[in-house]
Amino acid sequence: MATVRPRGHGDMRAAARTPRRPVPKKPSNPSLKDPVGVYCRVRPLSRPDQECCIEVINETTVQIHPPDGYRIFRNGEYRETQYSFKEVFGTLVVQKKLFDVVAKPLVEDLIRGKNGLLFTYGVTGSGKTHTMTGSPGDGGLLPRCLDMIFNSIGPFQAKRFVFKLDDKNGVDVQCEVDALLERQKRDAMPVPKTPSGKRQIDPEFADMINVQDHCKVEDVDEDNVYSVFVSYIEIYNNYIYDLLEEAPFEPIKPKPPQSKILREDQNHNMYVMGCTEVEVKSTEEAFEVFWRGQKKRRIADTQLNRESSRSHSVFIIKLAQAPLDADGDNVLQEKEQITLSQLSLVDLAGSERTNRTKAEGNRLREAGNINQSLMTLRTCIEVLRENQMYGMNKMVPYRDSKLTHLFKNYFDGEGKVRMIVCVNPKAEDYEESLQVMRFAEMTQEVEVARPVDRALCGLTPGRRLRNQAFQEELSRKLEMRGGPINEETEEQSVAEMFLQSLPPLPSCELLDINDDQTLPKLIEVLEKRHKLRQMLSEEFAKNVLAFKTMLQEFDSSVVAKENYLQGKLSEKDKTIARQKTDVERLEKKIKTLEYKIEILEKTTTIYEEDKRNLQQELESKSQKLQRQASDKRRLEARLQGMVAETTMKWEKECERRVAAKQLEMQNKLWVKDEKLKQLKAIVTEPRNEKPERPSRERDREKPVQRSVSPSPVPNAPPVRLRHRRSRSAGERWVDHKPPSNLPTETVMQPHVPHAITVAAASEKALAKCDKYMLTHQELASDGEIETKLIKGDVFKTRGGGQAVQFTEIETLKQESPTGRKRRSSPSNPDPAEDATDSAWTDVETRCSVAVEMRAGSVLGPGYQHHAQPKRRKP
């Protein structure tokens, strides 16, 4: 028989994957499509007095009508709608009937290596779980499927761990030795601890698997071996959780379950990555696993305050099968001969809309998500239908939810899809049931590619049978001979059999000489015996030969097996040796690391010690610093106090000294005044004869009086006065005082009577006056302010303007008492004498010397004179 299995070119692994979809995908026959099988189950009302809105019309039709309070009249007619399905199951239909019609074909397909998907759809409380799982004492489709599978493949199951699922949605066959090792490992392992500590099925569950149906697939390929793997996942809030994952039990703070992700295998089939897949060998075991997941689901519901009706649960049954070898003894190790098929049983979340459950907050969001995945399912179905009906090529949004993404390949590739729509006929569910019906009717219009029939094995059938027949024959023969196989007894019995089969020897006594009968008879018998002997020896030789060849064959096979095992053993030995060296290396590494750790720990302690010391030092230093800072502050305060005190003292001292000096100077001034008066008297003495002395001269003398001591010599030569035009006593002055001048605090201030004081030279003022005086200030070389009174006469110019001819400069200067000595002549040690001398000399000079000065000439710095004002006359 030819193999029609798709095989990867040179890639054995690829071929060992599930045969769901050939790569590249090419539908075997595009016209061979089946619509999604949609069935409807109407559950009985919970109470007989409930109002009913759904009636089963016949085997394929239901009728739904609005409840009393909800009646819609259209054109005066009472509106009721009928929906048709592949089959409708009324309230009285039992689980078995449903199973026979809906699920049995899927199980048959599974065993023939084809995939199937069965899901229940409907609002909460409509009987989805009752249909899928069942109720106590009334097992649903799931336990019945398991029961049928094990009833069918029961005697042909492979030993545990012969098949091994990999983590890429594929399957391998392990050699007997590896499988045996794994079995031993499993047996040695303690039973994993579950929170409850026991691993028995709830009596309630045990009840459900007690199906007692004995339903089985009749034409199971007996030359194959089979293994069943189950996994159980839950999709909640668009997250996938593995319900069989063995998480370490943490009683105090249980960890929240970790969600799983979807992956696509080489054949574009979706699978849950890292999902636990348990190999099961009986219905009980499989259901125990299911119950474990169910329990976990319930715990999650209570712990995380979830609503179980809002999650989709998916129970996946995978069936691996591979043919036996030509003798029917061992599983064929060729990977391309392995077939993996799967049946997914899905109990969907309640399809009701959110407002019905009055969900709030988190629950509302969850409900939204659940509705979202069901909505996506609806959208996908709708798009599929449109694409198929109208030849469109719209993208089906499988990826929008985990639920549709997981089952994408069923709609996209090939497989059998069946849906059971559950409805509760009660009036309250009318609207939701209507929605459910509409969706279900639409789903029927979607077609899915029919799975291809594949020959599962390319070898001559009946290997297992022939082998079995041979074994039976052998045991029968042995039984016939009685007792256990014993070489001696066997030899005896063979000899007996041989003797029995010989023709009996006639009597060979010759009583009569003429007896011509006995000898010929004897000869005849002996000849017969001889012939028999020859035949037997020929047979024996033949048998010996056959036996020898058999023995040789056996020997060679034993040798081959031995060699194989030896090879394996040496391989294992090598691995062990390798691992040993690895372990040694790692141990060495551990030792060095430990040594390093020790050193590091020591270094750490040293550093810590250092750190502590440094910190202490730092603390003491900072304390010292603080102390010093406070000391400094105190010292500053004290110094400031001292400075203030000293300043005050010195200020007082200065004031005292200034006052003393002022007094002294006043006294000196008074003396000088007196002397001047005397000098004046002397000077005016001869004038007594001419009493009218020009008043101008007098006026001019005035400022000088302030600072010049009169000549102590009474008979000093008279001053040769230059002739000036006479002026009336009321001559007017322009007193020009620039505003920038500083007030000098000299005791004697220049005073000009009848003056027009101006801040800036003004022609108007000049026109009215005939004398001009500018008060000019500048900084002398000793840093004191020097005031100069620059005087001049005012003339009328020919052009009608005014011109000033400067005639004299009077210098007024203050001096510090300490600076005086410096400027005085060092040859004269007596300052008083010096003062008098200079005063005298000055007065003398002033009186006798007149310096001619050109009017309007520029006054240079050479005109500075110290110690007293000087008058220069042009």
Q: Which residues bind ligand ADP (CB under 6 A)?
A: 43-44, 122, 124-130, 135, 309, 350, 422
Q: Which does 44 bind (CB under 5 to 8 A by kind): ligand ADP, Mg ion, none?
A: ligand ADP
Residues 6+ apart with CB under 8 A from 515: none
Residue 161 or 439 with smaller CB distance to ligand ADP? 439
- Residues that bind Mg ion in the complex, under the rule CB under 5 A: 128-129
CA proximity to 337, closest of 178, 173, 156, 160 = 173
Closest separation in Å from C-beta 562 to Mg ion: 58
127 interacts with, out of Mg ion, ligand ADP, none, CB within 5 to 8 A per kind: ligand ADP
Q: Which residue's entry shows tokens 């996209």?
A: 412
H helices present in 482-515, as ranges = 487-501
253 labeled binding residue: no
CB-wise, 350 or 415, nearer to ligand ADP?
A: 350
Is 124 within any annotated ligand binding site?
yes
Q: How far is the CB of 133 from Mg ion (least distance, A)?
A: 8
Closer to ligand ADP at the Cβ: 6 or 127? 127
Distance from C-alpha of 87 to C-alpha of 398, rounded to nearest angstrom: 28
Q: Which is nearer to ligand ADP, 135 or 379 (by Cβ)?
A: 135
Q: How many CB atoms lie within 10 A of CB 692?
A: 7
Give the residue ranges of DSSP H helices in 685-715. Answer: 695-707
Radius of gyration for the alpha carbons in the chain, expressed in angstroms and rounded: 68
DSSP string covering 199-259, please? ----HHHHHHH--------S---TTEEEEEEEEEEEEETTEEEETT--PPP-SSSPPPPPE
Q: How far is the CB of 129 from ligand ADP (least distance, A)?
A: 3
CA distances from 65 to 71, 78, 123, 529 (A): 8, 8, 17, 98
| 327 vs 325: CA distance, rounded Å | 6
Give me the least distance between CB of 422 and ligand ADP, in Å please.
6
Give the one entry of Mg ion, ligand ADP, none that residue 130 binds, where binding means its C-beta sits below a cut-off of 5 to 8 angstroms depending on kind: ligand ADP
Least Å from the CB of residue 34 to Mg ion: 28
**Measuring CA to CA, which residue among 44, 72, 49 is closest to residue 431?**
72
**Binder of residue 169, out of ligand ADP, Mg ion, none (CB less than 5 to 8 A by kind):** none
List the single partner that 144 binds among Mg ion, ligand ADP, none, CB under 5 to 8 Å by kind. Answer: none
DSSP H helical ranges for 90-161? 95-98, 104-111, 128-132, 141-153
| 857 marked ligand binding residue | no
Q: How far is the CB of 121 from Mg ion (least distance, A)?
A: 11
In angstroms, what is the minimal distance from the CB of 128 to ligand ADP?
3
Cβ-based nearer residue to ligand ADP, 6 or 122: 122
From CA 469, how far away is CA 482, in angstroms rounded? Answer: 20
Q: Which is nearer to ligand ADP, 125 or 293 (CB)?
A: 125
E strand or H helix at 679, and its extent? helix 518-684
Cα–Cα separations (whole angstroms), residue 380 to 2, 412, 417, 511:
38, 11, 14, 110
Residues 6+ apart with CB under 8 A from 54: 42, 62, 63, 64, 423, 425, 433
Tell the smallest beta-carbon distance from residue 297 to ligand ADP (Å): 13
Closer to ligand ADP by Cβ: residue 126 or 744: 126
422 binds, among ligand ADP, Mg ion, none (CB under 5 to 8 A by kind): ligand ADP
21 binds, among Mg ion, ligand ADP, none (CB under 5 to 8 A by kind): none
CA gap 44, 63 in Å, rounded: 15
The residue (of 129 and 269) whose beta carbon lies closer to Mg ion is 129
Is 225 marked as binding a ligand? Answer: no
Query: Residue of minimal CB distance from Mg ion?
Result: 129
For ligand ADP, give the closer residue by CB, 19 or 122.
Answer: 122
Q: Cα separations (Å) of 504 from 323, 508, 516, 533?
A: 54, 12, 19, 14
Q: Between residues 363 and 454, which has the closer beta carbon with respect to Mg ion?
A: 363
482 is in an annotated binding site: no
127 in the Ramachandran plot: left (φ > 0), alpha (ψ -120 to 50) or beta? left
Q: Which residue is nearest to ligand ADP (CB)?
A: 127
> Residue 127, annotated ligand binder?
yes
Residue type, 778: E
Residue closer to ligand ADP by CB (options 43, 402) is 43
Beta strands in 46-105 (DSSP E): 54-56, 61-64, 73-74, 77-78, 81-84, 87-89
- Residue 104's binding partner among Mg ion, ligand ADP, none (Cβ under 5 to 8 angstroms by kind) is none
In the three-class reduction of DSSP (H, G, I as helix; E, B as strand; rest coil), residue 420 is classed as strand
DSSP string, 745-797: --SS----TTEEEESS--HHHHHH-SEEEEEEEEE-TTS-EEEEEEEEEEEE-
Q: Could you tell me the smallest distance in angstroms from the CB atom of residue 120 to ligand ADP?
A: 7
Task: Please check whether residue 439 is in contact with residue 446, taking contact to mean a CB–CB distance below 8 angstroms.
Answer: no
Closer of 309 and 321 to ligand ADP (Cβ): 309
Minimum distance of ligand ADP from residue 347's CB (angstroms):
7
* Neighbouring C-beta atoms of residue 638, cutoff 10 Å: 10
Structure token pair of residue 157: 């199951």
Nearest distance, CB of residue 310 and Mg ion, angstroms: 10
Residue 113 token pair:
């290596």
**129 assigned to a ligand binding site:** yes
What are the two backbone dihedrals, phi and then psi, of residue 668, each rounded to the nearest 5 degrees? -60, -45
> How many Å apart are CA 824 and CA 712, to the nearest integer?
20
What's the half-sphere exposure (Cβ side, CA atoms, 13 Å) at 454?
30
In the list ligand ADP, Mg ion, none, the entry touching 292 (Cβ below 5 to 8 angstroms by class) is none
**Calpha distance 297→306 (Å, rounded):** 10
CB of 42 to ligand ADP, least distance (A): 8
> Of 132 and 452, which CB lies nearer to Mg ion in the complex structure?
132
Q: How far is the CB of 330 from Mg ion (least distance, A)?
A: 45
Of 19 and 350, which has the nearer Cβ to Mg ion? Answer: 350
Those residues with Cβ within 8 angstroms of residue 586's Cβ, 6 or more apart along the chain or in another chain: none
The minimum distance between CB 96 and ligand ADP, in angstroms, equals 13
Q: Give the H/E segment covering residue 832.
A: helix 831-848
- Which partner in ligand ADP, Mg ion, none is near 122 (CB below 5 to 8 A by kind)? ligand ADP
Residue 836 assigned to a binding site = no
State which H helix or E strand residue 597 sits in.
helix 518-684
Residues belonging to the binding site are 122-129
Residues belonging to the binding site for ATP are 122-129
